[in-house]
Structure 1
């Protein structure tokens, strides 16, 4: 007697997006490209560096971020007059480790070492645009996860709109460490979704750690926003709560 075996289709993990992952990647990529195009087009129209003679390098950008990234370049290339603890080129010798933890702990900061030493200002501008693009891409990814609409492109538009908010283009443009918080908020909201579903504990912990290490000043505000997002999701989404939140 033969017994027919039927293999049931594998159940999808809770919270798995209905749309293909390729569509999510496309939405994230489009959001990042739109953000980059908008920032560069706006600066070109306003004739702002590096597209014109006008400079943003005033206040914090000129007196803190560009010099700090220049010292980081020297450290990474082995040309620093001092080290991670002290910078002998600033103020007759000043402590550098607190400045590193406050301004340069972003995982993206070491990318300045790829540019020539004389072009540090260009490198900092490129990091600013890159952070804006990553904020747009992360938001589009989060919105794709939450969306049930068939169109894949509208999260890209909303993600780009988030990254191009007034605070980003006016404040983050000359204070690029704050843009780490712009990236952290959608990532922490994604962590909140994982927590609500009881999934991916290790990636969640690593994501939170990276967001806080990148810039603790904006990470705590992004964490508060993600906590409100989680409370809203718990209040509106159906299904049982995971034990960790019960």
Structure 2
């Protein structure tokens, strides 16, 4: 009897191991933050995805130039052995559109309140296409000259809440304003290369109260890209991944689970 129980237990263990081996590994989620932000903007989304069993990496986006920032992300992608869902927020959309080009392990792109440029378009040029953005000369600090040329751009701290994150508590927006990472004017004006969304399936999620990138622009870019899914979060601002982390995580999981 003891021998029979041992044999059954071993068979069960082998069956469990076989099932586990037969199940494909979950794709790695790579998150790319945008301008005037850092990887902490993904904390809420990271917690949800990790709880669901996804490996997650949040890239420290240099915010120096589209090509240079894309090369940084591309170098990371080359080290990941699983399929990848590449996610970009805001200016990060410019970066993932370049970084994923010709990368065989990237199975999906997710644009979170992000720019999805066509070749030759810049973040600054796109953002001026429709009215409604509060990010501009009236809300940016005086440019900070850089030793190697160009300038760093910051959002005025007292205007950060309204221009960038109106659906966050004032105290949270104040902290984010103080900790913001600058982007160069070069990066905002740099023309995009041929974008990866033309060959890789894409998903879009944004808020209908985005005061940094006009919702009309989001809708126009999404329509042009013919995504698998577009989700508009009612009342959400530009930082939809912070204020509505569950909604954003759900879109990322949709992309991860798509055939």
Structure-1-length-normalised TM-score = 0.29
Richer in helix (by share): 1
Richer in strand (by share): 2
Structure-2-length-normalised TM-score = 0.28
